[in-house]
Amino acid sequence: MKLRSREVVSGLEGLPRRALLKADGLTDADIERPFVAIANSYNNVVPGHLHLRELSESVAAGIRAAGGTPFEFNTIGICDGIAMGTRGMCFSLPSREVIANSLELMLEAHRFDAVVSIASCDKIVPGMLMALARVNIPAIMFTGGPMMPGEWRGKRLDVISAFEAVGAVKAGRLSKHEAREIEDRCCPGCGSCAGLFTANTMACLTEAFGMSLPGTGTSHAIDAKKRRLAKQSGKQVMELLRRGITPRKIMTRSAFENAIIVDLALGGSTNTVLHLLAIAHDAGIKLCLDVFDRLSHRTPHICDLRPSGEYFMLDLERAGGVPALMKRLGKLVRGSPLTVTGRRVRDNLKFTKFYESKIIRPLTKPYHSEGGIAILYGSLAPKSAVVKYAGVSPRMLHHRGPARVFDCEEDATKAILSKQIKQGDVIVIRYEGPKGGPGMREMLAPTAAVIGMGLGDSVALVTDGRFSGGTHGACIGHVAPEAAEGGPIAIVQDGDKILIDIKRRKLELVLPEAEIKARLERFKTPRPRIKKGYLALYSRIVSSAAEGAILK
């Protein structure tokens, strides 16, 4: 494969550029080798990123051992958990595009020949994958790995335990002292939060569609296995460069379907719908929401991981991780897609073993016969809405109740914690979509409050915003069109009946069609909440959640 870096260093014209590289400490021999970027999202704000500098050193060692010259640069990373429930969460999803753009700029401006991207957490991994698809040079995505579970009184914990403790204290089910003990124990160190939340779901899906080496998605942050895989990733990207294997040869339609199938079998985060649509867009693949639902009808949910299940990422790792899951799925998985190993999926899976059958159930004994995500439509969501099917109590798969309407997350959370929400209610939170938020905040605080208050089996929540991967319960997000675009969710009034029928994929505002039409005709689009800065620009150019909230 032709080396792009030779544009920088070749010939007499390259002399001043070589001089600048020598100021970095490079020798003539270093300059003669392929230039391989290490795009790292290390910072000491996000627990999932604390250890990424060490992993970068291992990646660099692998690159050097295979004959390349590594260069490291950084990009931003926002911790959704720290931003959660504050105005800061408005900036989380928009950061995905900043991350993608920053990688594209660095890789293109410096004419790198190949790249290993290192990241953990929710928006950073998909943002990097979007850039890798755009730039299309040999690349491997290396994810930082899950956090170990915490422990308290013989019970394993994760960050969701802390969020749900807030509601439990308000409901009198937990003392403040006990909650403080949970606070001190639920997040014991570095890594992405210990359950199958968005960060770990995306790590698993990245491996499933072939952009990470097998075993990367579930190997834990503190495990020496993670360092070995980092070194192997550095070596392997040089092999991809030698063979001319680029991301778009890996990110095919079949590869995306494998990622969706794994997502459905795991019961992963609903945020992956947004991210897979966006990555596919940059990879030049046409992907729509109907694909998720079509595959969901024939893909069983066979892993029961936190937040809705009892198992943690550590259990999935010990059961064989993503390769074991894919092998269990058998013919549901497409065997032909190429992967960063240089081999096809079917070849990677030949020697995969199962270690814990109770973690990854046989197809004949699933937790649910359908996949973990469902796409809903109806008079309240003409373009679509998304729900984590696997996280919904059987009692709430069909629900009809009165709307309790709020125009922001904070007001809804206050109402829940002050016991204003009653059994049977449908909480509606609007003006939290990509344009209306702006930024489409995750809303773990109200959903965790519902669970903590003991209302998880009797109260539903519907929003044009989105939910954390840690959310479970009858929580329906991504309602499109959103309120800021004049979607029907904007004209819901307190007391209106809402029908949720997840098995039939329905989300209905139970009003006569003429009444809905009359209300929509009277509706006036509110002025944007934000008038300046990045969010103001974002709100003007972001697309619907139904299209992945990409920028147009």
Active site members: 468
Q: Report the distance separating Cα 437 and Cα 536, nearest Å.
A: 10
**Contact predicate 472/493, CB 8 Å:** no
Residue with tokens 């939290």: 432
- Output the six-digit token pair for 403: 């709307």
Which residues, at least 6 apart from 6, have a Cβ–Cβ distance to it below 8 Å?
A: none
Nearest-angstrom CA–CA distance, 337 and 324: 17
How many Å apart are CA 98 and CA 537, to the nearest integer?
A: 12
Q: How far is CA 80 from the centre of its chain?
A: 11
> 281 with 248: CB under 8 angstroms?
no
How distant is the alpha carbon of residue 76 from its chain centre? 16
- CA pair distance 260, 109, nearest whole angstrom: 33
**DSSP result, 76-142:** ----HHHHTTSGGGGGHHHHHHHHHHHHHHHHHHTT-SEEEEEE-STTHHHHHHHHHHHH-SSEEEE
Q: List all residues 6 or more positions away from 444 whose beta carbon is below 8 Å from its beta carbon.
A: 81, 84, 85, 160, 163, 467, 468, 470, 471
Identify which of 276, 264, 270, 255 has the alpha carbon closest to the alpha carbon of residue 300. 264
Euclidean distance between CA atoms 488 and 516, whole angstroms: 7
Query: Maximum distance among all alpha carbons in the chain?
Result: 76
3-class state of residue 390 by DSSP: helix
Q: Phi first, then psi: what are they for 148, rounded to 5°?
A: -70, 150
Three-state secondary-structure class, residue 324: helix
What are the distances in angstroms from CA 196 to CA 5, 248, 468? 39, 27, 11
Tokens of 337: 């897609």
